Amino acid sequence: SLLPVYLTDARAVTKYDPVNAPDGALQLSVAENQMLEDVLVPALRKFSTSDNNNNNNNNKIEGLFEADQIYYQQTHGREGLRQAMAGYLGRILKLSPDQSLDLEGMVLGAGCNAVLENLCFCLTEPGNAVLLPTPYYAAFEFDLGARAGLNIVAVNTMEFNGTNFTADGGRTVPQSCYYPNAAALNAAYDKAKAAGSEPKILLLSHPNNPLGICYPTSVVEECINWAREKKVHLISDEIYAGSVYRKTNPLTGEDTFRSALTLAANGSKTTSKAGLGLGPYVHIVYALSKDFALSGLRVGVAYSENEAIRLPFQKLNDLCQISSQTQQTVEQMLSAKCDSGLWSTDEFLPENNDRIRQRSDRALLCMDECDIPYLFGDSGLFLWMDLTEFLPPSDDGGGIEESEESKDVRERILYLELMKEFGLLFTPGRSMRNELPGFFRFVFTAASDEEFDLGLERIKKYVKAKRTG
Amino acid sequence: YNDLRGVEYVREAVARFISRKFIQSIPGEVDEAKGKVGGNGEEKTMLVAKAEQIILSCGAASVINMLSYTLAEENDVVLIPAPYYAAFDFDTSMIAKLSTYPVHMNDPTVGPQPSELEAVYQKLTSQGRRVRILLLTNPNNPLGTIYPDSVIRNCVNWSRSKGMQTIVDEIYALSVHDKNNNKFHSVSKILNNKLGNDVHLVWALSKDFGSSGFRVGVLYTQNETVISAAGNINLFSGVSHPMQAITAELLSDDDFVDSFLDESNALLKASLKIVTDNLEKMGIPFVKAEAGIFIYCDFSSLLPEDSFEGEEKFSNIIFQYARVVMTPGSSQKENRPGFFRICYAFVTPEVLKVAMSRLQILAKLLKEHGWENVKSNIDKDMILKCSK
Q: Looking at this predicted complex, what is its ipTM?
A: 0.84
Quick check: A229 pLDDT over 50?
Answer: yes
Contact A143 B59 (CB under 8 A): no
Q: Which pLDDT band, with edges at 50, 70 and 90, does A56 fall under?
A: very low
* CB–CB contact A110 B240 (8 Å): yes
pLDDT band at B382 (very low <50, low <70, confident <90, very high): low
pLDDT band at B30 (very low <50, low <70, confident <90, very high): very low
More reliable by pLDDT, A172 or A262: A262
Under a CB-based contact definition with an 8 Å cutoff, are residues B296 and B287 in contact? Answer: yes
Q: Nearest-CA distance from A2 to chain B in Å? A: 8
Is residue B166 scored above 90 in pLDDT? Answer: yes
Flag if B212 and A71 touch (Cβ within 8 Å).
Answer: yes
- A202/A303 Cα distance (integer angstroms): 16
pLDDT of residue B56: 98
Chain B residue nearest residue A71, CA to CA: B213
CB pair distance less than 8 Å for A110 and B58: yes
- CA of B60: which chain A residue's CA is closest? A319
| Nearest Cα residue to A335 out of A92, A69, A88, A107 | A88
The confidence score (pLDDT) of residue B312 equals 95
Given a contact cutoff of 8 angstroms between Cβ atoms, the answer to whether A143 and A214 are in contact is no
Q: What is the mean pLDDT of residues A25-30?
A: 88
Q: Nearest-CA residue of chain B relative to A300?
A: B236
Rounded mean pLDDT, B219-231: 96
Region of poorest pLDDT, from A154-163, A172-181, A225-234, A446-455: A154-163
pLDDT of residue B42: 41
Look over chain A and give the mean of its residue pLDDT values, rounded to a whole number. Answer: 90
pLDDT at position A55 over 50: no
Give the per-residue pLDDT at B35.
45
For residue B210, which residues of chain A lie inside 8 Å, CB to CB? 70
Query: Tell me, what's the pLDDT at B47?
Result: 80
Whole-Å CA distances, B98 to A314, B68, B201: 21, 7, 19
Q: Give the pLDDT confidence score for residue B80 in this predicted structure.
A: 98
Q: Is B202 at the interface with chain A, CB within 8 A?
A: no
pLDDT of residue A1: 53
Q: A319, A325, A326: best mutation site toward chain B, by most B Cβ within 10 Å?
A: A319
* 3-class secondary structure, A75: coil
Question: What pLDDT is attached to residue A6?
Answer: 81
Q: What is the mean pLDDT of residues A148-161?
A: 94
3-state secondary structure of A255: strand
- The answer to whether residues B147 and B111 touch, using CB atoms and an 8 Å cutoff, is yes
Helices A112-123 & A307-316, crossing angle to 10 degrees? 130
Which carries the bigger pLDDT value, residue A8 or residue B62? B62
pLDDT digits (tens, 9 = 90+) for A109-151: 999 999 999 999 999 999 999 999 999 998 999 999 999 999 9
For residue B176, which phi and psi values (nearest 5 degrees)? -85, 120
Strand A337-338 to A341-342 pairing: antiparallel
pLDDT at A64: 64
Q: What is the DSSP string of A224-240?
A: HHHHHHHT-EEEEE-TT
Give percent of chain A above pLDDT 90: 73
Q: What is the pLDDT of residue B44?
A: 46
User: What pLDDT shows up at residue A165?
Assistant: 58
Q: Given A44, A299, A323, which is nearest B215 (Cβ)?
A: A323
Peptide bond into A18 cis (omega under 30): no
Q: For residues B96-119, give the mean pLDDT.
A: 96
B75 near A CB under 8 A: no
Q: Is B59 on the interface with A (CB under 8 A)?
A: yes
H-state helical runs in chain B: 8-18, 60-71, 88-93, 114-126, 149-161, 187-190, 224-233, 241-252, 254-282, 308-317, 349-377, 382-387
Nearest to A226 by CA among A276, A264, A275: A264
Indicate whether B43 pLDDT > 90: no
pLDDT value for B25:
78
Q: What is the pLDDT of residues A66-115, one digit of tens each?
A: 777 788 889 999 999 999 999 999 999 999 988 999 999 999 999 999 99
CA-to-CA separations, B249 to A50, B49, B257, in angstroms, rounded: 20, 18, 10
Whether residue B49 contacts residue B19, with contact meaning beta carbons closer than 8 Å, is answered with yes
pTM as predicted: 0.89
Interchain CB distance below 8 Å, A329 and B242: yes
| Averaged pLDDT for residues A319-340 | 94
Task: Give yes or no for residue A469 having a pLDDT over 80.
Answer: no
Determine the pLDDT at residue A419: 95
Beta bridge partners, B103, equal B81
Interface of A with B (CB under 8 A): 2, 30, 32, 44, 48, 68-73, 110-111, 113-114, 117, 121, 142-143, 146-147, 295-299, 316, 318-326, 329
Model confidence at A269: pLDDT above 60: no
What's the rounded mean pLDDT across residues A394-419? 87
Alpha-carbon distance of B122 to B337, in angstroms, equals 26
At A247 the pLDDT is 94
Predicted confidence at residue A30, as pLDDT, reads 84
pLDDT at A36: 85
Q: Does B380 score more than 70 pLDDT?
A: no
Question: CB–CB of A320 and B236 under 8 A?
Answer: yes
**Is pLDDT at A58 greater than 60 in this prediction?**
no
| Residues A284-310, mean pLDDT to the nearest whole number | 94
Answer yes or no: is pLDDT of B106 > 80. yes
Among candidates B61, B69, B214 on the partner chain, residue whose Cβ is nearest the Cβ of A147: B69
List of E strands, A362-426: 382-386, 424-425
Q: Do B242 and A326 touch (CB under 8 A)?
A: yes
Beta-carbon contacts of residue A50 (< 8 Å; ≥ 6 apart): A61, A64, A332, A336
